[in-house]
Structure 1
Amino acid sequence: MVDYVHLTVHSEYSLVDSIVRVPMLVEQVAQIGMPAVGVTDQSNVFAMVKLYRVAIKKGVKPIIGADVLVAQTLDDADPSRLTLLCMNLEGFRNLSQLLTLGYTDGHRNNQPILLKKWLEQSKVRGLIALSGGQFGEVGRALLGSNPDFAFDILEEWNARFPGRFYLELHRVGRKDEDLHVPRAVTLASQCAVPIVATNDVRFLRREDFEVHEARICIQQGRTLDDPARPREYTEEQFLKSPVEMAEVFSDLPEALANSIQIAQRCSLQIVLGETFLPDLSVPEGHNSDSYLREMALSGLASRYPTVSDNAVAKTVDHERRLSQELDVICEMGFSGYFLIVADFIRWARENDIPVGPGRGSGAGSLVAYVLGITDLDPIEHDLLFERFLNPERVSMPDFDIDFCIDGRDRVIDYVSDRYGRDRVSQIITFGTMAARAVVRDVGRVLGMPYGYVDRVAKLIPFVVGITLEGAINGDKELKIKGNDELKSLYKSEEEVKTLIDLAQQLEGLVRNAGTHAGGIVIAPKPLTHFMPLYSESGETVLTQFDKNDVEALGLVKFDFLGLKTLTIIDRAIKSINLGRIAKDKEPLQAIHLPSDDSKTYDLLQRGSTSGVFQLESFGMRRLIKELQPNCLDDLIALLALFRPGPLDSGMVEDFIDRRHGQNSEPINYFHPILKPILKATYGVILYQEQVMQIARVMAGYSMGGADLLRRAMGKKKPEEMEKQRSIFLKGSQKQSIDEVIAGKIFDLMEKFAGYGFNKSHSAAYALIAYQTAWLKAHYPADFMASVLTADMDNTDKLFILKYDCSQNGIKLEIPDINSSFFEFTAIDTHSILYGLGAIKGVGQRVVEDIVKERNANGIFTDLADFCRRVKNLNKRVLEALARSGALDGLGENRATLVVAIPNVLRLAEHATHARESGQGALFDEQEEAEELGQFVKKMPNWSLRERLSAERESLGLYLTGHPFEDYAEHCAHFTHGSIRGFIRNLPESVSNGNSSSLTREVTIAGLVVDIFRRNKTVCVILDDNTERLEILFFDDSYNTNRHLITKDSALIVDGKLQFDNYRKMWQVTAKSVKLADQKIEENARRITIQWPKNSDDKQFLLNLKETLRPFTDGDCEVCLEYTGPTARVAMTFGDRWTVKLTRELREQLGVLLGADRFSVHYPKYIS
């Protein structure tokens, strides 16, 4: 039997050049009888822990290594290839150091390069090197003009890796292999260096070659049939069996045998399952356990001062719970973990960095609460410690901590300084090829029409974790039904089958590397002791292992999450407290806001929740109005209910009906013993904690055992559920509970365990939601100013917030260089000053210069004064300021200012230069002012439409008015109403965006505010002053109507409304489009004009006649209505005075009469 081991397999973690999945690789290696396999991904060991765990389980020896690029200097245009394999732990740590160095110091053209000088003998101990075949330095020399030079290069490498350097041979059908192999064999003999055969594996089976090529084309942006695309790989680069390799290298059996020898020499063993906590200093006389207990008891006294008899009794219960938690924490060895978390949270609070009240199951720990890690009393809210840390299931605790988004990096810096920058890192995460995206990708590389592929892709539900198989045939776990249309297309259309079959083979492959949202690892030694580090060029340094692999190695992961809402709350409270302190009032603290404030609940019950954390969506507002929350427990329930499972199961309706007493039947608790657990949720099992409590009281489970039951119910494994059912029923019998009732309750628990939510998380986030609602109810201007600031770069969000302000009586004042700051600021209780930072093209540095100069030397008096005094101004910045209205206070209208800017700017620069060169006396302020007068040409002010258009260009929205106001009343006759109103009135399942396949025919109108291309569709943003909506035009439709689709044109669009789950937004695919003015002209049947009171009747009629005369070529009847003291008379002018109701006529009538003095009659509805 031939023996051979593949040593150079690239997995999907090589990012781009392989489609090999580690579990399938190990499975196939075991099947073909290979004792070991080496994975050498390009410049990384991302897959190391995954390979190790799977291979050991399958009885296959994992060989860890990496392909690296080597150069003399970073300027070398074409680095050579080298493969490094780990013989032992020393070798791995040396490889870890080298790979890290490549990413931190060796970046060139987005590639990590190892400089040859770094590979000195002492730095490569424990590593075997393979030469890289014809792509290595030796191979290139052999194929070059001076093959003898290869001898010297080989001798040099052999000296660096004495007895551990192998000349690598490939026979996969690539260019120059026939020359390289014989020359390499000869050279190896001359230098007494061993040879080894490898196959440069990139896929598992020969028939996978086309799939691999598709993966390469996706990355390159090419199509498979592109004759110009590079063909870098061959169909021979699959995982060949030992027999197949023997056929290829029948003339060189030692090259095969040496693969076995290398595999035997590589014996890296990784220790998994141990825990490596960072070194923690505690006061003398303490260890981690004793210090944690002391800190916790001190915190308990601080959290619960004994001010009454009731409080004393309460403290006894707390002390008992605290002691129980401390015992578990200390026994499990996690005291240090709690102390570390408490330390950096304490530092954050002391350094004015807001920290969230809690997140996830950690809010269920009393120890966390008394240490200041969380700010939510777990006993008051009936939260369970065992949901966070289960003594019967040993796993690391995992606190997710929310920090103010502006301060998160400062906390990371603190931790890095405290424990050592070489011991702290953010954690990598990997993006994969998800179902919808991979269908689009494959459609593109196959050259299919975009519209065709888009139609197929949109049939795939946008649900996290959905697969193409699940989209077609359904997914029980995700509760997704199969799409019949997609299934039919797959069966009936060959092109769809080809598309989906190829996409399925790529689905789930790793696409890219990124930064985990919050993961931070802190190690007791330099991180390269445990793993290499990774970095994009100039970007954040990350671990090369993802969070699961970091934890498998025993390192401690912490989640530092940036939460924008904490920044909003902090900024709002600081603004509010400036006013309160000035009035000698106590400053506010978010954590001490009263939780029973009626004004706050009134605001919530109205659904006025723009800017309120977690409660902004249309679907959530509808649920709030139905539930009518009036306490914090209601908000906790609200967040738990508003999820796809409960919304689709009928739970929500049951909960609301029972809460309002609208259910004709009494609430069924199934057994009296359950009433205390389910009373607060009206008999509905809403929280995971309730499942645990039911198991404890009914069946005698320990809380740890109850948590294991909860987990088992979530996973729904039949064997495990049968085992748990038996335990539950036996336990219930001991409580004298009827077996039939116990069985029904178990079934109920099993059903709702899948819907149940983590109450600890819901409670913590409900508290934040309440805080934002309280601030909006009591200090609306300060709060909304803070929300606007947080979203100043998001024009779509600013539009929504502006609308909310107007609905709540808050006016947004135009920006002003003499009073605005970078942020939005509250002027008083009903007005907010626009932030200069929200003006497009005006950067933070310019705003800082403006504010600094204004504070130092007073307000700016005119344009020249402004240009003289502020640095970093240019034409683009000044025009943006002028168009937004920020220069209105300088004494000239906007049109005049925009025209004057180039000359005034030149004059200011000239004067500044003169002063700096000592010629300031020649250009005193008087002379400057006189010269300025020559440059400022008075211009007529812009029309309303021009002014509003300039505001939109500079601010992204209309601020002092809206051009569509002139159209709204007219278009209401042709459409389904305002965009906002129509979306709000959709059925609940549609408005929540739960069904991507449910669509609706719609006619809507609005003003074009943006036009851009996305892939092969043209996107038009319509704005009707209540909402913005994206309209999609495919190329044919757009080209037909492009003469109508221009910025600032008012359009009426017929199309198909659907929810884009990816962007979480509504959009309409256009079928037809018409100018609103044309629609009005064609369909206006009668215009009724109100005779103005107290007017000169004769002059009025004369003016009206002159106004109407140019437009008498239409068929819209004119009616004049006179209202006297006791009667109303309507007079028509007959066919001779029918008019065409153009925009010009409407505008002129508005000037003559006022917009509210005439009305237009249309047919009942025009489709």
Structure 2
Amino acid sequence: MDKVYDYDVDKLKRGDMIQVMKDLFGEENVCNISTFNTFSNKVAIRDIGRVLNDKEDSPYKGMITPELRDLVSKTIPVIKKVDKDGNEIEIDVSLKDAIKGNDELQKLYKQYPMWFEYALKLSGLPKSRGCHASAIMVTPKPVTEYCPVCYNKDGEIMHQAEMHALMDDIKLIKMDSLGLKNLSIADMTLKFAGITWEDVDINHLDLNDRKVYDEVYKTGETVGVFQMESAEARRMLIEAKTDNIEDIIVVNSANRPGTKDSFPDYCHNKLHPYDITVIHPDLKRLFKQSHCVLLYQEQALSLLRYAGFPEVEVETGRRAIGKKKENVMRTLRPKFEEGLRKRNWNDEQIEAIWNLLLKQSEYCFNRGHAVAYALLSYLTAYLKVHYPIEYLTACLIMDEGTDKASTLLSEAKRLGFELNNPDINNSGMSYTPNQSNNEILIGLGSIKGLSDNGLNTILANRPFVSMTDFMTTAITMNKGDVVALIKSGALDSLTNKGKIDLFKQYYIARFNAGKEGKKPIKKANKTNIKQLFDMGLITPEQQDDKEYCTYIFNDHRMRLEWAKFKDKYCQGTELDWEMEVLNVHLSGNPFEGVYLPDWSKVNVEEEGWVGGVIINCKTNVIKNGKNKGKKMAFINLGVGDVTFDITVFANKYTQYIDLLKNGKCVVCRIKKDSEVKGCLQSIETLEDYLNRTKYVQEKYRKEN
């Protein structure tokens, strides 16, 4: 690879930056870069299964149903790792290993060997062409003089050749223009707060603000904080008792496969500076910046220089570490040992430091990159502490419609902000902060189930002065849109009679318009009148009053159809509806008045009960041991204003997989690790728990 330049930019302004590049280098000299997507294990299983199920001469014709394909695909594990930028990514495990590590897959493999054999051959092969998310190619002459081009799905030019061939063989320049969501969040926060980037210039910002460390990093309350939101990062911040920018840099660097094992040593050395053990005394000087622990690429390179390597060979080491080439690293060993012996290192010391250095080739973070990301992390934490409502609102806007939204909504409630239901007349597209009242108004665009067409119809016709006024528009909209609006509370300001009444008004409007079930009749005939008489709805004297009979018939039909409508769309409580369409409980707490044993009285290593809402559930694949290849999970449980981190091991994951869903109200029996951490022993829905403890709950309510 000849030249690669990386820079991060506000995600919402990435297009503007690319246009700047085109203005600088020429429109025809800048283009997107192709990527080649491969068949993952799951996709190979699904695609091969579909062909074998549909093909007439297949031995499995009609046997590999969509349900079976879906089941097998979901059973195949993936490994979740942190990439070089700290983002969680999924990586396929070997399909053979997945089959070996799962009894159900082994059984299916024996039943459908051809299906799995074909999938094994297909997995990893190119499937389709895509466009690189950040990379841009810059050429000295028009791109078409170097390679053929095509259009991506957005109608933009991209080259057709394989990326590394262009860089390594033709020596073209690639620029990585990565759009960072957190920069967009920071920019949005500044606008909400009425300040500018000059007010938070990182070159002049106080990096020793005690509130930032005490309220965010030391406590692990890092929801919305760049690079520090994962359970592992939070654990590391707490363990290090983070109180300075260097700690943040270290966590950002150490939360990687190649350096994570060194982190406990960093914490010990930082917190116990008079009890530091090093392989050789000289390392105290070489690794002083990180409390005598090898964490950064730059430190690894300084170690090579210390061993006498010239800069040309140091560069070889840098490339080996950067590209994870362990075989190249091993070629450096003889000279490395020789250089250290000249500095009076013994064989045991040399072996120990070499093994540590070799681990760098797995992945060691560049300190320069770590510093930049740590400073951005600090900036986001600073904004969260000093402009909390503006910052949380910006986070919600950028993560609208994602699984993370529920976590952010819970965080807003923890910080004491009032979350208000969407309002059909006052809500914008997204969230809006009200600093004076400490309120965040949820946007109409946050309502799950409200389509773009429905949203545009509302914006074009509002304001609505009453439910009757809204009904004129409602009957022209998709039914699902209006149902979502009612459940979200967006129409509450149009009535004081409650949501069931709103549903009924909407249903009657649709019935009268002939859009709901059986339509109203225009005039009762003899058959209709006989039906009414047989049901006892009219008297003999009323049979000749056609107008009255028509009214009674339509009223009876409407009531019957309303019962069906209500049964279909009005099941559950208003709290259930809020979680369904908004991912949060706003009008109350489902656990209010529920008795649970006092968690605070449970000792560490003992079992206790906690109840809450699952706000996030992440699965992982076990890499080693008897459960290798099986899945486990980590769930964040919202318990009042506190978030519990609960580990779900493989056997419990398999047993309770159907309950481990975001938004579920559950009661967990967990083995206590700390006040907010534990391992799952059992789990049940709140409804099942209340039924099981019915008499205890009744006694509790009477006493309270």
Deviation of 1:678 after TM superposition, in Å, equals 0.7
What amino acid does structure 1 have at the position aligned with 2:366?
N
Q: Distance in 2 between matches of 1:606 and 1:439?
A: 44
**Cα distance in 2 for residues equivalent to 1:1027 and 1:671:** 40
1:399, distance to aligned residue in structure 2 (A): 1.9
Q: TM-score, normalised by structure 2?
A: 0.69
Aligned to 1:566: 183
Kept in 2: contact 1:977–1:1004 (CA 8 A): no
Counterparts in 2 of 1:905 and 1:557: CA distance versus 1, 3 Å: farther
The yes-or-no answer on 1:779 pairing with 2:387 is yes
Letter in 2 for 1:785: T
Find the counterpart in structure 2 of residue 625 from structure 1: 238
Does structure 1 residue 659 correspond to structure 2 residue 249? no
Of the three residues 76, 88, 94, the one matched with 1:468 is 94
2:619 maps to 1:977? no
Check the 8 A contact 2:182/2:226 in 1, yes or no.
Answer: yes
Aligned equivalents of 1:743, 1:675: Cα separation in 2: 18
CA shift in 2, pair 1:731/1:778, >3 Å: same
Aligned amino acid, residue 798 of structure 1:
A
- Return the alpha-carbon distance in structure 1 between the equivalents of residues 636 and 207 of structure 2: 42
Q: Do the aligned residues in 1 keep the contact of 2:610 with 2:668 (CA within 8 Å)?
A: no
Q: Are positions 1:886 and 2:513 aligned together?
A: no
1:783–1:413 CA distance, 2 compared to 1 (3 A): same
Question: Does residue 1:670 correspond to 2:288, yes or no?
Answer: no
1:1040-1059 to structure 2, matched below 5 A, reads: none
Secondary structure of 2:585 counterpart: coil
How much has 1:686 moved relative to structure 2? 0.7
Ranges in structure 2 where 5+ consecutive residues have no aligned partner: 53-59, 82-89, 513-561, 671-678
Cα pair distance change 1:500/1:904, threshold 3 Å = closer
Instruction: Give the structure 2 partner of residue 688 of structure 1.
Output: 297
Equivalent residue pairs, number: 605
Cα offset for 1:885?
A: 2.2
Match of 1:554, SS state, is: coil
Superposition pairs of residues 846-857 of structure 1, within 5 angstroms: none
* Residue-by-residue CA offset, 1:437-490 (whole Å, 9 max, x unaligned): 545655664656849983996467567666638848xxxxxxxxxx97469998
Q: Which residue of 1 aligns with 2:123?
A: 507
Shift of 1:838: 1.0
Find the counterpart in structure 2 of residue 434 from structure 1. 40
Asked if the contact 1:1052/1:1074 (under 8 Å) is kept, the reply is yes
Contact 1:875 1:902 in 2 (8 A): no
Question: Deviation at 1:725?
Answer: 2.6
**1:812 is matched with which residue: 408, 411, 419?**
419
Quote the Cα distance in structure 2 between the aligned partners of 1:721 and 1:547.
26
The 3 A distance-change label for structure 1 pair 968 and 452 is: farther
8 Å contact from structure 2 (residues 101, 629) kept in 1:
no
Once the two structures are superposed, the pairs formed by residues 195-214 of structure 1 within 5 Å of their partners are: none
Does the residue aligned with 2:206 lie in a helix, a strand or coil?
coil
> Would you say the 8 A contact 1:862–1:890 is kept in 2?
yes
Query: What's 1:705 paired with?
Result: 313
- Per-residue deviation, 1:553: 2.5
Alignment of 1:404 onto 2:45: no
Superposed CA offset, 1:556-580 (max 9, x none): 2211222211111111111012xx6
Match of 2:521 in 1: none
- How far is 1:685 from its partner? 0.8
Distance 1:501 1:553, change over 3 A: same
Indicate conservation of the 8 Å contact 1:433/1:506, yes or no.
Answer: yes
1:853–1:870 CA contact under 8 A, matched in 2: no
Q: Distance in 2 between matches of 1:944 and 1:811?
A: 27
1:528 to 144, 150, 173: 144
1:617-669 C-alpha deviation (Å, 9 max, x unpaired): 2222222211121111111110112123434x4x222222222218x843316
Alpha-carbon deviations, 1:895-934, whole Å to 9, x = none? 4444445888999xxxxxxxxxxxxxxxxxxxxxxxxxxx
How do 1:851-890 and structure 2 match up within 5 A? Answer: 861-863=465-467, 877=481, 880-890=484-494
The 2-side partners of 1:1005 and 1:846 are apart by 33
Tell me by how many angstroms 1:784 deviates. Answer: 0.6
- Aligned counterpart in structure 2 of residue 516 of structure 1, from 118, 132, 150: 132
Q: How far 1:957 moved relative to its partner?
A: 3.8
- Give the equivalent residue in structure 1 for 2:518: none
> What residue in structure 1 maps to residue 159 of structure 2?
543
**Aligned pair in 2 of structure 1 residues 689, 499: CA closer, same or farther (>3 Å)?**
farther
In the alignment, is the contact (CA less than 8 A) between 1:428 and 1:545 conserved in 2? yes
Equivalent AA in structure 2 for residue 776 of structure 1: K
**Which residue of the partner structure matches residue 213 of structure 2?**
601
1:996-1044 superposed Cα distances (whole Å, 9 cap, x missing partner) = 64667999999xxxxxxxxxxxxxxxxx9989999x9xxxx99xxx9x9
Match of 2:448 among 836, 840, 844: 840
Shift of residue 426 of structure 1? 1.2
Distance verdict in 2 for CA 1:849–1:1080, change over 3 Å: closer
Match of 2:582 in 1: 955
Taking the TM superposition and a 5 Å limit, the aligned residue runs for 1:1008-1087 are 1077=687, 1080-1081=690-691, 1083-1084=693-694, 1086=696
What SS does the aligned partner of 1:812 have?
A: strand
1:6-17 matches, within 5 Å, as none
Q: Which whole-Å deviations, capped at 9, do the CAs of 1:955-977 have from their partners, x for residues lacking one?
A: 34432224454657499999953
Indicate if the aligned counterparts of 1:428 and 1:515 stay in contact, CA closer than 8 A: yes
**Structure 1 unaligned spans of 5+:** 1-394, 473-482, 908-938, 1007-1023, 1056-1066, 1091-1154, 1160-1167
Corresponding letter in the other structure for 2:134: G
Q: 1:675 to 1:423 in 2, by over 3 A?
A: same
Change over 3 Å in CA distance of 1:809–1:699 after alignment to 2:
same
Tell me, yes or no, if the aligned pair for 2:575 and 2:586 is still in contact at 8 Å.
yes
Residues 609, 669 of structure 2: 8 Å contact kept: no
- DSSP 3-state at the match of 1:628: coil
Q: Is 2:374 the partner of 1:766?
A: yes
Matching residue within 226, 230, 239 for 1:613: 226
Change in Cα spacing, 1:706 to 1:410, as seen in structure 2 (3 Å) is same
Query: Equivalents in 1 of 2:119, 2:593: separation in Å?
Result: 50
C-alpha distance 966-487 of structure 1, shift in aligned 2 (>3 A): closer
Pairing 1:886-1035 to 2, within 5 Å after superposition: 886-893=490-497, 894-900=499-505, 946-963=573-590, 965=592, 969=596, 977-978=610-611, 997=629
Q: C-alpha separation between the residues in 2 aligned to 1:448 and 1:847?
A: 40
Query: 2 CA distance for matches of 1:596 and 1:533?
Result: 51
1:981 Cα shift?
A: 9.1
Q: Report what 1:828 is aligned to.
A: 435
| 2: CA distance, partners of 1:517 / 1:870 | 40
Residue 1046 (structure 1) shift: 14
Change (3 A) 1:492 1:533: closer
Q: What is the aligned partner in structure 2 of residue 44 from structure 1?
A: none
Provide the aligned C-alpha RMSD in A.
5.6
Q: Which amino acid aligns with 1:705?
A: E
Residue 827 of structure 1 and its aligned partner are, at CA, apart by: 1.1
| Mapped partners of 1:779, 1:441: distance in 2 | 49
Shift of residue 882, structure 1, vs aligned partner: 3.9
Q: 1:454 to 1:902 in 2, by over 3 A?
A: closer
Amino acid at match of 2:7: I
* Equivalent residue, structure 1, for 2:407: 800
Q: How does the TM-score come out when normalised to structure 1? A: 0.44
